[in-house]
Structure formats: C-alpha cells, structure tokens
Amino acid sequence: MSTPVMQGTERKRLDVEWVRAQFPSLQRKVNGYPAAFLDGPAGTQVPKQVMDAVQNYFLESNANTCGAFATSRSSDAIIASAREAMADFFHCDKDEVVFGQNMTTITFALARAIGRQLNPGDEIVVTTLDHDANVAPWRALEEKGVVIRQVDIHESDCTLDLEDLKRKINAKTKLVAVGYASNAVGTINPVGEITKLAHAAGALMFIDAVHYAPHGPIDVRALDCDFLACSPYKFFGPHMGTLYGKREHLLRFRPYKVRPASDSLPDRWETGTQLHELIAGIGAAVDYLAELGRRHDPAAKDRRSALLSAYRATRQHEMALLARLVEGVLAIPGLRFFGINDAKRFDERCSTVSLRLANHTPTDAAKFLGERGIFTWDGNYYALNLTQRLGVEASGGLLRIGLVHYNTTEEVDRLLAALQEFARG
C-alpha cells in the first residue's frame, strides 16, 4: 500500500499496512472470515513490541525490586524506563506516574485515600455519561456522609449538560469526576473547561481518560487537572492501569499502604509487588506509538513530539473511518443512533459508535456479527448511568462499534453490509 502525502501540511497519511504488520493477532480468522477487531473500547490488540517486552522481562530480568543483584537492578531499570515513557505520555514528571492493577482498582484506592480527609456534607460531582469506574468509587464515600451530585446529559446527542454541571458545582464541592471521552457513545467532554470550573469552586478535578487514550494525546500540564487515570490495555498495551497525580496531592493524601514500603513518590501509591512484566509492556506500548509517530514525522525530536505526531496520523485515519461508518449506519432503516452524528461536529467525538436496530436486541446483533468474524460489544459496557438514562438498560443496552487506528475501510464496509443483512432478517 502506498502512503500518499497530504497537500500543504506535508504530513503523511497513516501507514495502515505498517500498523497492521505490527499486530500479529489481527491475522486471526473466524469461520473462514478475517477477524475485524471492532472491540477496541473493551481492550485493543497489542503490537509485537509489547509481547516481546513481556517475554524478555521473564527471560532476562525476572525478580523483585530493590535487590542487590543483576535481575533486580534490571527490574528497577525497566520499571523506571516505563515510568518515564508514561510521563511523556501524560506530559508530567515521572514521580507523578503511578502504576496499578487497573483503572477501577486505582480509582477505588484513590477515592478511599481522599475520603479520609472528607467530612459529612462535602460534595462530589459525577456524570451520567461516565463508566461506573468513575462513579462507584466516589459513591462509596456516601458511607462517610459525602453527597454525590450527578450531572445530566443532553439526550439528543449524548453530550454533557454543562449548565447542569455548573449548577451542581458549589462551595461544598470537593472533587469533580468526569470522563475525557465516553466509552459508550464516543462524546469527548470539554475537560479543560470543566477543570477550570472545578478549580474556581476550590474542588479537585479527576479525569477518567481510559477511553480517550487510544484516540488522542493527553496533556495533564495543559489541562491542569489534579488526577487522570487510564488503562494501557486500551491503548495497545497490557492489562493494567496508570494514574497521573499532581505531586502536591500525591504527597498530601495518605494512601493505605504497608508500613515497610517506602513513603516516597510514587512508591507510597504502589503498595505490594507490581506486575513488573506488564509494566515492561506498558513502556513498549508507548514506544510503539512513538515509533509510529516518527514514521509519520521523522523530524519529531523527542518521544513526546513523536507521540503527538502519532495521534495526528491516527486521528485523521479514525475520523475518515468514522465518517464512512456513520453515513452507512444512518442509512439502515429502523436504526437508532446514540450520540453526535453530524460530521461537522466530529471534533466533539471519537470513533466509538453505539446504536440499536429496531426489533433486535444488541446481543443478537453482536452474535450475528461475531459469527461473521466481526467483533463488537453489546450491553451497557459498565456505562450504567447512561444506559439507564437512555432507557435501554432493561432491553439489552446498546451495540457498540469501536474503531481504532488498526481498523480499515474494508472492515467498515464489511460491518455495514452485515448490519444491513441483519436488519433485513
């Protein structure tokens, strides 16, 4: 496949052939069909670099940390290097990067630590658009008398109701918890603007960037948020979670930890033995994205610039696929689309689409597609507040199609043909 160059900006289009060659699992076949992995929002495939890093860790460095011998020193170095990679990814300092089991577990631990300093009557703002991992950990603090306020959405396009958000933030608000992008309907929230609103009220801002991370660059410095969590397994890495926390807060709040463990940053937030082999894989996932970026912009001078270049290329590719997908699904009779469907507003969304087909449950649609090698998701994807608000929870939720940068035009066309056939049946 050739890689035509865009006029004007002189940036190359995404080299999808090279991208796909990095992901061995994309070669899978199902019932004779090539597998189309449209299940990225639940976890993406991983490039060979990530698999190698995990295997090499076991081969060459397997040990616990901080020992006075070679494999332990090597483990320390690998973890430090992965932390630096994540610091470039978040755009923060390396002692502000915390590794953990997954975003949900990290957020419960953080909420419990923050909760130690909250009083009855203090308020936390959550949203109707969020995954429950950014709702339940905060709701758990209701046991301490904390009051939870939930921001509504505009049902017509599944965007956050910012007027409602402004009404719900007040002098008692201690923290605002908002997703960067919806894992159900793809809406990208104005998290920079919301951070300003939170800070103006004296509240902390926590961003769930799990769904945004495979689609766009994160810049915690520009956002000025206090905490931001994401999960490497959603951006081409292994099944783990990571947290950015502003240094002052990571020092100020007291995590639950074992006594002999270091109280320095970020160790105090990483109590217990970490998943060293997967942390090695996280470093490799960030480096895969940087390599992709350098291929598209050889002038990228450092890893952060290479990451920004990668996201410029992947975003352009994903938006072209999204436009084709949305136009195609809107033409299917009886289809109900959830979220922004106007191409002029696509900068407010990412390439994750949810829909329902008249007279069919999302599970039946997903099964039909699955038999044809097309992997989609059905149900609520844990965005429970949203499926309840949209009135679809009791009838099976939604059908989700998630496009990431390794997906192709051919896969979108196959999906559209299969959906049309299913809708007719």
Our finding on whether 241 is near ligand PLP (CB under 6 A) is yes
Shorter beta-carbon distance to ligand PLP: residue 311 or 382 = 382
SS (H, E, C) 325-362: HHHHHHCCCCEEEECCCCHHHHHHECCEEEEEECCCCH
Cβ at position 212, least distance to ligand PLP in Å: 8
In the chain, the N- to C-terminal Cα span, in Å, equals 36
Report yes or no: 186 and 352 within 8 Å, Cβ to Cβ.
yes
Instruction: Give the residue with the Cβ less far from ligand PLP, 212 or 368.
Output: 212
Beta-carbon contacts of 298 under 8 Å, excluding residues fewer than 6 positions away, are none
Q: What mask, x for binding ligand PLP by CB under 6 A, covers residues 159 to 188?
A: --------------------x---x-----
- What is the footprint of ligand PLP within residues 188-217 (CB under 6 A)? 208, 210-211
380 lines the binding site for ligand PLP (CB under 6 A):
no
Residue 390 found at the interface with ligand PLP (CB under 6 A):
no
CA distance 227 to 181: 15
Which residue is it, tokens 């196959």?
414
* 176, β-bridge pairs: 125, 205
- Minimal distance in Å, beta carbon 170 to ligand PLP? 26
* Contacts (CB under 6 A) with ligand PLP, residues 244-303: none
Residue by residue, DSSP assigns 249-287 as HHHHS-----TTS--STTGGGS-S---HHHHHHHHHHHH
| Residue 44, phi then psi, degrees to nearest 5 | -90, 170
Instruction: Tell me which stretch binds ligand PLP (CB under 6 A): 101-109, 317-325, 387-395, 411-419.
Output: 101-109
237 binds ligand PLP (CB under 6 A): no
Instruction: Please tell me the distance from the alpha carbon of residue 336 to that of residue 333, in angstroms, as a whole number.
Output: 9
Q: Say whether residue 397 binds ligand PLP (CB under 6 A).
A: no
In the complex, what is the shortest distance from the CB of residue 127 to ligand PLP, in angstroms, rounded to a whole number? 11
Distance CA 329, CA 419 (A): 8
> Does 223 interact with ligand PLP (rule: CB under 6 A)?
no
Residue 100 or 293: the one with the smaller Cβ distance to ligand PLP is 100
- 17-46 binders of ligand PLP (CB under 6 A): 41
Amino acid, single-letter form, for residue 114: I
Token readout for 213 is 């991370």
The interface region with ligand PLP, picked from 102-110, 308-316, 366-374, 392-400 by CB under 6 A, is 102-110
Least CB distance to ligand PLP at residue 260 (A): 28
Q: Which of residues 120-159 bind ligand PLP (CB under 6 A)?
A: 131, 133-134
Tokens of 393: 């929870």
Cα(185)–Cα(69) distance, integer angstroms? 50
**312 near ligand PLP (CB under 6 A):** no
Phi-psi region of 214 (alpha: psi -120 to 50; beta: other; left: phi over 0): alpha
String marking each residue 68-97 x if it binds ligand PLP according to CB under 6 A: ------------------------------
User: What's the rounded Cα separation, in Å, for the pair 208 and 111?
Assistant: 13
Instruction: Give the separation between CA 179 and CA 188, rounded to whole angstroms.
Output: 8
**Nearer Cβ to ligand PLP, position 182 or 408?**
182
Query: Shortest approach of ligand PLP to residue 299 CB, angstroms?
Result: 33
Pull the structure tokens for residue 368. 């039909």
Peptide bond preceding 34: is omega within 30 degrees of 0, i.e. cis? no
Strand partners, 402: 39, 352
State the nearest-atom distance from the C-beta of 206 to ligand PLP, in Å. 12
**Among 103, 204, 282, 285, interactor with ligand PLP by CB under 6 A:** 103
Beta carbon nearer to ligand PLP, 283 or 293: 283
Radius of gyration of the chain (CA): 22
Question: Which uninterrupted H or E stretch holds 123?
Answer: strand 123-127
Smallest distance, Å, CB 183 to ligand PLP? 3
Nearer to ligand PLP, 41 or 339 (CB): 41
Q: Which is nearer to ligand PLP, 8 or 272 (CB)?
A: 272
Question: In the complex with ligand PLP, which residue's Cβ is closer, 131 or 295?
Answer: 131
Q: Which residues bind ligand PLP (CB under 6 A)?
A: 41, 102-104, 131, 133-134, 179, 183, 208, 210-211, 231, 241, 382
